Amino acid sequence: MTKKKDLLLDKVPKAAKERLLKDKTKLVEAHYKGNDKEAYSRMQFSRLYKGYDYLENFMLVRGYIQHKYNIQIQLLEQILYLAPKNFFCMEDFWEISSLHYTYKKIDTLIKLGYVSIASKGENKQKHLYTVTAKSRNICQEMHEMLSGETPIPTTSLTNSEYKTDNLKAKIIQKLNVKEKPKTVKLLWARKI
């Protein structure tokens, strides 16, 4: 195997890696919006913990994403868990579905359009799965907002009858004009 293929396979869980090797699947690195470098590589994520400011706006971004895509927190967490794996087997899915999640069956996620079958096996347990473009878009949008690369919209909060929504809108407006820390700018796909 080539060094690049080894690096790509290191990001894939063990069971899915074995399946990919058995099927002699060709692995190609996907690039973010035409850039030569992947937007959120493992190396960039490792920098995440140097500055604890990446997740400081999670509650605001999570609320927006849930409202925009009309998804529950349990589903959002499952998508965020599965998306970085690129490919996964039922064994990987069972790890998280055993944690009392609403979406315990892979068929439900397939019907909802968040997961698809990447390669058919003998049965459901032998299939190789991947998240859909819909799921990747949710993750990408969330990462871009958390890193401050794109502003957090306030359209769903302004002119709300709830006082908390109006307070959140004011906080978001302040955050959107605030200078972003260097530790967070390191995560940006579009370098400035």
Q: Is 130 helix (H, G, I), strand (E, B) or coil?
A: strand
DSSP state of 76: H
pLDDT tens track of the chain, all 192 residues? 567 667 667 767 788 888 878 877 776 665 445 444 545 544 443 333 344 566 778 888 888 898 889 999 889 989 998 998 889 998 888 888 777 666 778 888 999 999 999 988 888 888 999 999 999 999 999 888 888 888 888 776 666 677 777 777 777 777 777 776 666 666 666 655
Architecture in CATH for domain 14-22+40-185? Orthogonal Bundle (1.10)
Dist. CA 62–CA 66, nearest whole Å: 6
* Domain range annotation of the chain: 14-22+40-185
Distances (CA, A) of 154 to 56, 135, 160: 17, 22, 11
Distances (CA, A) of 125 to 15, 16, 96, 116: 11, 11, 15, 14
The reported pTM is: 0.66
